[in-house]
Amino acid sequence: MLDELAGRRVALRHRIAPEDAPGPGLTDAVGELEPDGPDAVVVHTRSGPVHVRRDAVVAVREVPPAPARRASRAAVDRLERVRATAWPAPVVEELGGWLLRAAGGWTRRANSALALGDPGMPVERALERVREFAGRHGIVPVVQAPVDAPWSNRVIEGGWMRDEGPGTCSVLVTRAASDAPAPRWPATPGPDWWAAQGEPEPAPGAPAWAVLTGASAGVLRPGEQSRATSTDPVEVGFGTLADADGTPVASVRAAVVDEHVYVSRLWVVPAARRGGLASRLTGQALAWGAAHGARHGMLDVADDNTAALALYRGTGWTDHHRYHYLVPPEPA
């Protein structure tokens, strides 16, 4: 019965004292159930993992998913730092609780200032530093911040505006596990991967190459209070699917950071869509991540991409938080 409920949310009653001890000696754990070797299981509750010997289990039943709750500010900030590490810019400068990033203009994520904490100076001066940094690296000044977060609001109060171009994006999370076997993916994107992306393959050393392969310098190491930087590469894998003729038609990138697998660059050529390739690649990415130590999956989707949001939410992904980009006002 326990193994049949693996991966599901359960209420598990178990003994915490010998059967002949005074008092009830029982307690309940509610959360996602996983095997923990041949003699135990673990229930991932909201307050942390609970390890239970199998012979101490009194009863177990499946329960409905937990109601959605708003992620704490600390949880949002942590996940944003994990995302920044999983999508590393070649140039990174810390500005207090802000992270200034440049990647030759390749992707908005890697060419924006991530505002999560106190920059250590008045916001007006911090925004000037963002402009100066952008000017030095030939990119457009942009701030990325979680929606309705304190520093997002401060930037808006400083006169910057929401960028209507990329719009607002949702960050979704799920459990890093899949029924699909873990694929063996290369650590660099090959010609087939780029062909499925519909982009020309850049030269090694180009900003796109550095971001994708995690070979960037100054990558933020999540979880360190000092916000120290590290040149350790991010562990990445690149998956590609081909049609019956061998033509690459879908591809994805996966990166493992701090027990999270970040799924990105998922693309299916228009002619091959609605054939289940996106779900197949996503499942493979989660399986690949789990095989490389990830317990959680994460990805982000533009809020106006309703088809993708419906796909992910329908396959167990849940909303964690939203972020947007802020730009300076146009000169009068």
> Is the overall model pTM greater than 0.85, yes or no?
no
How high is the mean pLDDT in each 10-residue block of the chain (332 residues)?
A: 87 81 78 91 89 94 78 92 94 95 95 96 97 97 96 95 87 82 93 94 88 64 36 81 95 95 96 91 95 94 92 90 94 54
What's the confidence (pLDDT) of residue 215? 65
Element (H, E) at 124: helix 123-137
What's the confidence (pLDDT) of residue 161? 94
* Domains delineated in the chain: 3-62 (2.30.30.100), 73-168 (no CATH), 171-320 (3.40.630.30)
| Contact between residue 157 and residue 282 where contact means Cβ atoms under 8 Å apart | no
What's the confidence (pLDDT) of residue 232? 52
What's the confidence (pLDDT) of residue 216? 56
What's the confidence (pLDDT) of residue 25? 84
What's the confidence (pLDDT) of residue 332? 42
